[in-house]
């Protein structure tokens, strides 16, 4: 094998990787955002997740890309870690489609392959260059990508054909018969190519030498699967705990697959003498082996996906506060539903815990606006997902309590708790929105005008005060604090109107950039919504005292309340007067 063959081999590998990228990008563009939507909406069971992961990875031809996509969903709370395991298993299977495409292209002979490459290249070039529709251009990209893949296979096969008569190559293959060296070689190739599909394709191209037996392909393919974990593990950087667990699960699945394969292969070979494994590997045989090994792992791991979860949870241990936060909802025992007073007391304790989690999460998000910290940002996302769990489990539990014939007082408590947990969950949603805005400010280096920054600080102060009043009033049943919330909420409404007017003036006079203007408006909306939910929480506290809402300033008749008007004037002076234009 001379220098010309080496250059052809490297060129073929480069074309292969480029073709994979072009084809995958084209397929993803053709699907638009549907793949992402399907992934996080339709993965409620491990089997559904497996089927979806298989489909998506088959379409975009990358188990790594599919898994990285899932990690981002898990990190942002759009998907649970439990849902992600089935999708990762499916992604491992779906990515084997490339091997079958390469086999189909080669099954028609050399002349057929050349005609197919030419047809795909012409079709791809025509659609890409002359079509006006984006969907047609995407089809063109897919065709060009596949043509490049087939051309790369042809180049690699031609370049490595002299190896069949090379004694050194034969010695190297003998070395790879050792499973450890074979696995390491496969992993190393994939770390370099950053694509298991590309690595298997290269192995298929090498099979034309007729010198590679299936017994050598076996550990190499298993090593390729493990090596494909590299880009997924890199996605751990910046992910939250559940995102990191999803990354680890990808590696864990492929390591366990290796153990399962050899646990079955070694005794089977001893008992049945699997001599066919010493036959020269073919393109189709490698495609079959690659798919079979991954399906074999799925057969064992899909039913026991909980085991993978536990292993990943052991490696990436929960935050101590995470375990503490789950204690309250874990204590909601269905056996106590027949004892409404006890069940309601447990529900009340869990609601108070949810209140505390949501309050701290909003405080944490607001702090990010002045002291950005990536770890704190990720913690906001974690706690928002936790609030979702609370709303789901706690809400269902309280509804079940209501089916057991409650007294009027118990029914009132039940209704108050249901209303409150909805507001706490929405507070945490707004905490996430604020945190994402802070992340955008940090990432895009958004700089506010001095006046705008001063207004943001005042908004944050108002949000902290109303949140503290409402949540403390709820947890400690303090009527006097609850009565302060609505005047402050009205002051924040006035404040919002004035801030919008100031913002429009700055935009009109070009004192602010479009980006900083959008960011400012997002913050304004979310803080106003925080105040609205605080008002709801305070109302539920006052209602439990049998206080008439209209009498105590929770309606348009608020002006009739002297106490209310005194509080409102104080908050107007504190939060609205400082931002009014100076005459």
Which of 417, 444, 471 terminates a domain? The answer is 444
Weakest mean pLDDT among 59-73, 124-138, 429-443, 528-542: 59-73
Share of the chain above pLDDT 70, in %: 79
Question: What is the structure's pLDDT at 570?
Answer: 92
**CA proximity to 498, closest of 577, 582, 583, 566:** 577
Answer yes or no: do 178 and 201 share one domain: yes
Question: What is the structure's pLDDT at 31?
Answer: 55
> φ, ψ for residue 304 (rounded to 5)?
-115, 35
Share of the chain above pLDDT 90, in %: 17
Answer yes or no: do 299 and 339 share one domain: no
Answer yes or no: do 246 and 110 share one domain: yes
Answer yes or no: do 404 and 299 share one domain: no
Residue 392 CB neighbour total at 10 angstroms: 13
Reduce the DSSP state of residue 280 to 3 states and report it.
strand
Weakest mean pLDDT among 176-190, 319-333, 391-405, 447-461: 319-333
Listed in sequence order, the residues at least 6 apart from 381 whose beta carbon sits closer than 8 Å to its beta carbon are 75, 76, 77, 240, 432, 435
Instruction: Please name every residue paired with 213 in a beta bridge, in sequence order, or none if there are none.
Output: 280
Q: Which two tokens stand for residue 408?
A: 């009027």
Q: Indicate whether 550 pLDDT > 50.
A: no
Answer yes or no: do 262 and 323 share one domain: no
Task: Confirm if 71 and 110 have CB atoms less than 8 A apart.
Answer: no
| One-character DSSP codes across 139-158 | HHHHHHHHHHHHHHHHHHHH
Question: What is the structure's pLDDT at 557?
Answer: 39
Q: Quick one: CA dihedral 152, 187, 304, 308, positive or negative?
A: negative
Q: Indicate whether 285 pLDDT > 90.
A: no
Q: Indicate whether 84 pLDDT > 70.
A: yes
User: What's the CATH number where 401 sits?
Assistant: 1.20.58.220
**Nearest-angstrom CA–CA distance, 205 and 192:** 17
> φ, ψ for residue 405 (rounded to 5)?
70, 80
Which of 392, 409, 444 terminates a domain? The answer is 444
Q: Indicate whether 554 pLDDT > 50.
A: no
Question: What is the structure's pLDDT at 357?
Answer: 92
Listed in sequence order, the residues at least 6 apart from 91 whose beta carbon sits closer than 8 Å to its beta carbon are 53, 54, 56, 57, 63, 66, 67, 70
Q: Which two tokens stand for residue 7?
A: 């250059």
Question: What is the structure's pLDDT at 531?
Answer: 94
Task: Confirm if 66 and 56 have CB atoms less than 8 A apart.
Answer: yes
Q: Which two tokens stand for residue 478?
A: 């303090």
Q: Indicate whether 548 pLDDT > 70.
A: no
**Nearest-angstrom CA–CA distance, 435 and 367:** 9
Q: Quick one: CA dihedral 186, 28, 8, 288, positive or negative?
A: positive
The distance of Cα 404 from the centroid of its chain, to the nearest Å, equals 39
Q: Which two tokens stand for residue 298?
A: 């799925």
Question: What is the structure's pLDDT at 34?
Answer: 53
Answer yes or no: do 408 and 435 share one domain: yes
Answer yes or no: do 198 and 79 share one domain: yes
Residue 485 CB neighbour total at 10 angstroms: 27
**Nearest-angstrom CA–CA distance, 514 and 503:** 11
For residue range 454-512, what is the model confidence (pLDDT) as tens digits?
988 999 999 999 999 999 999 988 888 998 999 999 999 999 999 988 888 887 777 77
Angle at 170 between CA 166 and CA 171, to 5 degrees: 115
pTM: 0.56
Reduce the DSSP state of residue 318 to 3 states and report it.
coil
**Nearest-angstrom CA–CA distance, 361 and 425:** 11
For residue range 18-41, what is the model confidence (pLDDT) as tens digits?
776 676 677 666 655 455 555 555
Question: What is the structure's pLDDT at 468?
Answer: 94
CA distances from 75 to 42, 85, 309, 378 (A): 18, 14, 16, 8
Answer yes or no: do 488 and 410 share one domain: no
More confident site: 290 or 15: 290
Task: Confirm if 398 and 87 have CB atoms less than 8 A apart.
Answer: no
Q: Please state the rounded mean pLDDT for residues 270-298.
A: 86
Question: What is the structure's pLDDT at 112?
Answer: 60
Task: Confirm if 496 and 561 have CB atoms less than 8 A apart.
Answer: no
Listed in sequence order, the residues at least 6 apart from 243 whose beta carbon sits closer than 8 Å to its beta carbon are 71, 72, 74, 75, 235, 236
Task: Confirm if 229 and 251 have CB atoms less than 8 A apart.
Answer: yes
Answer yes or no: do 99 and 120 share one domain: yes
Total domains present in the chain: 3
**Nearest-angstrom CA–CA distance, 487 and 265:** 74
For residue range 88-115, what is the model confidence (pLDDT) as tens digits?
888 888 878 777 776 666 665 555 667 7
Max distance between CA atoms of the chain, in angstroms, equals 100
Most confident stretch, 80-89, 122-131, 348-357: 348-357
Question: What is the structure's pLDDT at 96?
Answer: 82
Answer yes or no: do 421 and 541 share one domain: no
Question: What is the structure's pLDDT at 38?
Answer: 56
Answer yes or no: do 150 and 164 share one domain: yes
What rounded mean pLDDT belongs to the chain?
80
Answer yes or no: do 137 and 168 share one domain: yes
Which of 274, 300, 315 terminates a domain? The answer is 315
Task: Please report where in the chains the tokens 């309590």 appear, as a residue.
Answer: 401
**CA proximity to 186, closest of 289, 105, 308:** 289
CA distances from 25 to 70, 73, 148, 452 (A): 17, 20, 14, 41
For residue range 167-216, what is the model confidence (pLDDT) as tens digits?
665 555 566 677 888 888 888 877 776 677 777 877 877 777 777 888 88
Question: What is the structure's pLDDT at 315?
Answer: 85
Domain encompassing residue 252: 3-315
Q: Quick one: CA dihedral 432, 434, 436, 439, positive or negative?
A: negative
């Amino acid at each position: 094998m001379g220098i010309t063959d080496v250059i052809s081999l490297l060129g073929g590998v480069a074309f292969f990787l480029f073709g994979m990228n072009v084809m995958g990008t084209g397929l993803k563009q053709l699907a638009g955002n549907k793949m992402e939507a399907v992934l996080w909406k339709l993965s409620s069971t491990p089997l559904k997740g497996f089927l979806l992961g298989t489909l998506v990875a088959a379409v975009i031809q990358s188990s790594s890309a599919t898994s990285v996509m899932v990690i981002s969903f898990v990190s942002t709370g759009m998907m649970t870690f439990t849902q992600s395991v089935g999708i990762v298993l499916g992604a491992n299977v779906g990515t084997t489609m490339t091997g079958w495409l390469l086999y189909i292209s080669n099954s028609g002979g050399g002349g057929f392959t050349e005609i197919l490459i030419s047809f795909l290249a012409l079709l791809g070039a025509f659609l890409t260059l002359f079509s006006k529709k984006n969907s047609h251009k995407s089809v063109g990209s897919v065709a060009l990508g596949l043509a490049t893949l087939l051309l790369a296979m042809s180049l690699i096969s031609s370049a490595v054909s002299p190896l069949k008569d090379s004694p050194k190559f034969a010695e190297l293959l003998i070395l790879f018969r050792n499973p450890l060296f074979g696995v390491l070689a496969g992993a190393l190739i994939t770390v370099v190519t950053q694509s298991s599909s590309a690595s298997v394709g290269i192995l298929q191209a090498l099979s034309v030498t007729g010198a590679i037996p299936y017994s050598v392909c076996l550990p190499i393919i298993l090593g390729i699967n493990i090596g494909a974990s590299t880009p997924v593990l890199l996605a751990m950087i910046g992910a939250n705990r559940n995102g990191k667990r999803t990354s680890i699960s990808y590696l864990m699945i492929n390591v366990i697959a290796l153990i399962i394969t050899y646990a079955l292969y070694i005794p089977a070979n001893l008992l049945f003498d699997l001599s066919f494994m010493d036959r020269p590997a073919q393109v189709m045989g490698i495609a079959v082996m690659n798919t079979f090994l991954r399906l074999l792992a799925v057969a064992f791991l899909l039913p026991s996906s909980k085991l993978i979860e536990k292993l990943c949870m052991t490696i990436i241990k929960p935050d101590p506060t995470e375990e503490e936060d789950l204690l309250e909802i874990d204590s909601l025992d269905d056996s106590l539903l027949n004892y409404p007073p006890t069940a309601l007391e447990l529900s009340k304790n869990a609601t108070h815990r949810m209140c505390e989690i949501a309050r701290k999460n909003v405080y944490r998000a607001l702090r990010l606006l002045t002291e950005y910290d990536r770890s704190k940002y990720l913690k906001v996302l974690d706690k928002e997902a936790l609030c979702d769990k609370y709303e789901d489990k706690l809400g269902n539990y309280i509804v079940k309590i209501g089916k057991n014939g409650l007294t009027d007082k118990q029914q009132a408590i039940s209704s108050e708790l249901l209303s409150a947990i909805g507001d706490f969950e929405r507070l945490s949603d707004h905490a996430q929105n604020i945190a994402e805005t802070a992340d955008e400010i940090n990432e895009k280096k958004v700089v506010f005008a001095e006046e705008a920054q001063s207004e943001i600080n005042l908004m944050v102060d108002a949000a902290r005060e109303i949140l503290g009043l409402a949540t403390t009033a709820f947890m400690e049943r303090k009527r006097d604090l609850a009565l302060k919330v609505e005047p402050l909420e009205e002051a924040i409404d006035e404040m919002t109107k004035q801030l919008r007017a100031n913002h429009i003036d700055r935009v009109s006079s070009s004192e602010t950039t479009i980006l900083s203007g959008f960011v400012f408006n997002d913050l304004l909306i979310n803080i106003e919504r925080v105040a609205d939910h605080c008002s709801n929480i305070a109302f539920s506290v006052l209602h439990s005292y049998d206080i008439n809402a209209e009498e105590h300033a929770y309606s348009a008749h608020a002006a009739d309340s002297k106490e209310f008007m005194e509080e409102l004037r104080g908050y107007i002076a504190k939060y609205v007067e400082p931002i009014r234009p100076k005459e």
